[in-house]
Amino acid sequence: MTSEKKCQGCGVLLQDENILQEGYTTSLENDICQRCFRMKNYGEYQMVAKSNEEYLSILKSVGRTKDLVLYITDLLNVDKDIEVVRKAIPNKMILVLNKKDALPKSVKEEKLIAYFEEMGLNFEEIIVVSVNKNYNIDYLLKRIKYYQTSKNVYAVGHTNAGKSSLINKLIKNYSDKTQELTMSPLPSTTLNTITIEINDYLTLIDTPGLIDSGSILNVVDSRMVKKISPVKEIKPKTYQIKKNQSIIIEDFLRIDYVDGERNSFTLYISNDLKVKRLLNSSNKDDLKDLSKKTYLVKYGEDLVISGLGFIKMVDKCEIDVYIDQNVDSFLRRNMI
């Protein structure tokens, strides 16, 4: 039977008929589906393939309301097309920059805010938080109260940004509810909208995340997904690098320094990842069978590898990047 009851963890409709399909539970009396049960209790993550079409229709319906929207963004994985979500919906919007704890403490909040302000995307306000460290959550709630236009406030953003984690934190801090949304390091954890009444004045609506089809998380196994997702403050690794040297990360990324003066590369990626430097690129062909992209880097740019993090480069240069053909990489102006 399919019920009208939604899973309290991921929002999918519960059903007890087909174990292979979304929303399966052994009994419709349960509040969560089997997939959420396994993720919550055993940390057994199960990938679900989602298309962005459903997501875009959810965004459109959010856009038809006049409600306040929280646009949650992962500071380590700021998407290339941050303006897509902003422009898709005309609502009042707070940009919530999450996972501050994963960046080095020395990174100044004002600088981050200024960086995003310069995009000119007309947010009501830009707020830096860390859900994990409960940092700035009180302030965020105050500003939600200030800007909200009705009881309802939506959480939107890319998958894995921490939307469900943030709502769980708000439930825990400010309501007497025990409901807990499912969170996981894998993309597409939340499958449908979930409505949670925090109190008489505030109802939060969680949404599934926009999928980054170019994220590295889509092409590595779940053990590596955990390694790539930083849970601790990143200790940036800096390499003084010159022509004909290479940097290799695990077995999925190779960067050859093809041309330029002596330069400095700082890696903002999870501390758990193995990094190797080759002092002579031409000696080793490791990973050169991966797809190659050549970049002409300008002064003061970052190389972003979608889902992994970024590399801050100081001077202009030419680099060759070898990575799975399905993983996006791009240059942007230095974020920090």
- Contact footprint for ligand GTP (CB under 6 A): 98-99, 101-102, 130-132, 159-165, 183-185, 187-190, 208-209, 229-231
Q: Determine, following the binding rule CB under 5 A, whether residue 189 of this chain makes contact with Mg ion.
A: yes
User: Which pair of tokens denotes residue 242?
Assistant: 């010159």
Sign for the CA dihedral angle at 132, 11, 207, 225 comes to positive
Report the nearest approach of Mg ion to the CB of residue 183 (Å): 6
Nearer to ligand GTP, 55 or 322 (CB): 55
Judged by beta carbon distances under 5 to 8 A according to partner kind, the member of Mg ion, ligand GTP, none in contact with residue 77 is none
Residue-by-residue DSSP string for 254-269: EEEEEE-SSEEEEEES
Phi, psi of 216 (to 5 degrees): -65, -25
Report the nearest approach of ligand GTP to the CB of residue 306 (Å): 15
In whole angstroms, give the CA distance from residue 336 to residue 324: 27
Give the number of other Cβ atoms within 10 Å of residue 229's Cβ: 21
Q: Determine, following the binding rule CB under 5 A, whether residue 164 of this chain makes contact with Mg ion.
A: yes
Q: Determine, following the binding rule CB under 5 A, whether residue 8 of this chain makes contact with Mg ion.
A: no
Q: Which stretch binds Mg ion (CB under 5 A): 130-138, 188-196, 213-221, 279-287?
A: 188-196
**H helix or E strand, kind and range, residue 196:** strand 194-199
Judged by beta carbon distances under 5 to 8 A according to partner kind, the member of Mg ion, ligand GTP, none in contact with residue 231 is ligand GTP
Nearer to Mg ion, 130 or 329 (CB): 130
Report the nearest approach of ligand GTP to the CB of residue 153 (Å): 15
Nearer to ligand GTP, 56 or 231 (CB): 231
Burial class (CB in 10 A: 0-12, 13-18, 19+), 52: middle
Phi, psi of 135 (to 5 degrees): -90, 125
**H helix or E strand, kind and range, residue 124:** none
Asked if 283 and 314 count as a contact pair (C-beta separation under 8 A), the reply is no
User: Which pair of tokens denotes residue 206?
Assistant: 């969680």
Report the nearest approach of Mg ion to the CB of residue 189 (Å): 5
Report the nearest approach of Mg ion to the CB of residue 100 (Å): 19
Judged by beta carbon distances under 5 to 8 A according to partner kind, the member of ligand GTP, Mg ion, none in contact with residue 130 is ligand GTP
What is residue 138's three-state secondary structure?
helix
Q: Determine, following the binding rule CB under 5 A, whether residue 190 of this chain makes contact with Mg ion.
A: yes
Report the nearest approach of ligand GTP to the CB of residue 3 (Å): 22
Judged by beta carbon distances under 5 to 8 A according to partner kind, the member of Mg ion, ligand GTP, none in contact with residue 281 is none
Q: Edge to edge, what strands does the sheet with 291-297 contain? A: 275-278, 246-249, 253-259, 317-323, 291-297
Nearer to Mg ion, 205 or 267 (CB): 205
Nearer to ligand GTP, 101 or 256 (CB): 101
In whole angstroms, give the CA distance from residue 223 to residue 238: 26
Alpha carbon of residue 335 to chain centroid: 16
Nearer to ligand GTP, 23 or 162 (CB): 162
Nearer to ligand GTP, 15 or 159 (CB): 159
* Site of interaction with Mg ion (CB under 5 A): 163-164, 189-190
